[in-house]
Chain A
């Protein structure tokens, strides 16, 4: 935590809010205390009394989308247990925004424009983006053909699942060697989370991630709007959690109902402190945060 760091973060927050205001987005704060912290098997929530602290505002914002608001965003604290390090905080500041009726590529343009606006506010030069599919990144940086990849060709360990071997290869060979600013789109179907799946050609999740200076900055989905499929993914994730020795997450009925009523939408979550750190060239998110006293 430093005075300069906190000023930089305030500059970015102001730039973000004016960027959204200029484009007609409505800021919608939603509750931090929620009935279910997450769906995904690798996200761990913090209990808060008889409820949970949210790992992202996604479920509540989807209920807002189902009410018929077309362009919304929220900037607020989110909480993920068991995550801490130079680029992780148990509590962190998340930005999410949604565009009803927009294709995923509209959010690519949003990220480019919004990062440029924040860079201008900080008086630093904006990045030049590289656009790759995940398969292109693996082929270029790890020399692995994802379409035929196995745990062995991904240089995984014997007890790795395919997804674990995928991430091991990604973390060891792809992520450290990405161009300074990169969009990676079309993720494996097993990592769709709450994204739709494209079945023309090789099936893939309609999802992209933005990386800035080697750090994962944002994750975007063309959002799933099928309530039955949403419930089935919730149940699959819970079975995987139980298999890994974690308690299942409560199924969020409000979310499932909202997903069934939502129009086609693209949505994205972005780590605000990571954006500040990446633009300022810091080696961690922490200069731009108020440190939390030890409990």
Chain B
């Protein structure tokens, strides 16, 4: 249990059965009223932000969360399997838990896996990955017109929008947070 006086940025707490981290907090006290701590909390699973005001003296439940560096091994058709880089234990994580970054996973990629109550709840893939184009319509040489894009399927199955001049087989740098093409890797 934490007290309101323990609140600081980065504190991991449980609220409505979900793990949150404190991203901001402020001590507030009306001159004639009791003290409160106003917080901005980020849900560690969904990333959504919650405003929560705690009364002075209220207790906060500590969230049982741990983060481990794990290596992606393979997909068995249902689950994605990862190995803990510290104790080499392996676990399978469903595509649903991984969310929309599962199609950026390549073998041996290191990711951060968040465990809540010993269950994997979220994974963070690197912000940038380099992947080859598996299929795209033939490129139009010299067409560098601003903003014009076409769809490209990458070797992992991810579909992204790329500029018209790119060809099959070329390697791209992709921002996994926005799913946007960043540059061509030479």
Contact = CB atoms under 8 A, between A and B. Distances in A.
Interface residues of B, number: 17
B36 A168 contact: yes
Given A160-B55, A164-B55, A171 B28 contact: yes
Interface centre among B32, B33, B36 (most CB of A within 10 A): B32
Contacts of A172: 38, 51, 53
B26 interface: yes
Given A160-B55, A164-B55, A172-B53, A219 B32 contact: yes
B177 interface: no
Interface in B68-121: none
A164 B51 CA distance: 17
A132 B71 CA distance: 61
Interface of A is mostly: mixed
A167 interface: yes
A42 B34 CA distance: 5
Contacts of A244: 57
Interface in A230-281: 244, 269
B160 interface: no
Contacts of B55: 157, 160, 164, 168
Given A164-B34, A167-B34, A167-B36, A42 B29 contact: yes
A171 B32 contact: no
A291 interface: no
A190 to B, nearest CB: 10
A84 B28 CA distance: 9
B16 to A, nearest CB: 12
B33 A163 contact: yes
A167 B53 CA distance: 10
B26 A85 contact: yes
Contact of B36 (A171, A191, A216, A219): A171
Interface residues of A, number: 28
Nearest to A216: B31
A71 interface: no
Given A172-B51, A172-B53, A167 B27 contact: no
B35 interface: yes
Contact of B30 (A85, A157, A170): A170
A59 interface: no
Contacts of A207: 32
A193 interface: yes
A88 B27 contact: yes
Given A86-B26, A160-B55, A164-B55, A209 B31 contact: yes
A168 B53 contact: yes
Contacts of B56: 82
Interface centre among B31, B51, B55, B56 (most CB of A within 10 A): B31
11 contacts: A42-B35, A82-B35, A85-B28, A86-B26, A87-B27, A87-B28, A88-B27, A88-B29, A167-B33, A168-B53, A216-B30
Given A87-B28, A171-B28, 19 more contacts: A82-B35, A82-B56, A83-B27, A86-B26, A160-B55, A164-B33, A164-B34, A164-B55, A166-B33, A167-B30, A168-B53, A168-B55, A170-B33, A172-B53, A191-B33, A193-B32, A209-B31, A244-B57, A269-B31
Interface of A: 40, 42, 82-88, 157, 160, 163-164, 166-168, 170-172, 187, 191, 193, 207, 209, 216, 219, 244, 269
| Pairs A-B, 5 closest by C-beta atoms | A85-B27, A167-B33, A219-B31, A191-B32, A42-B34
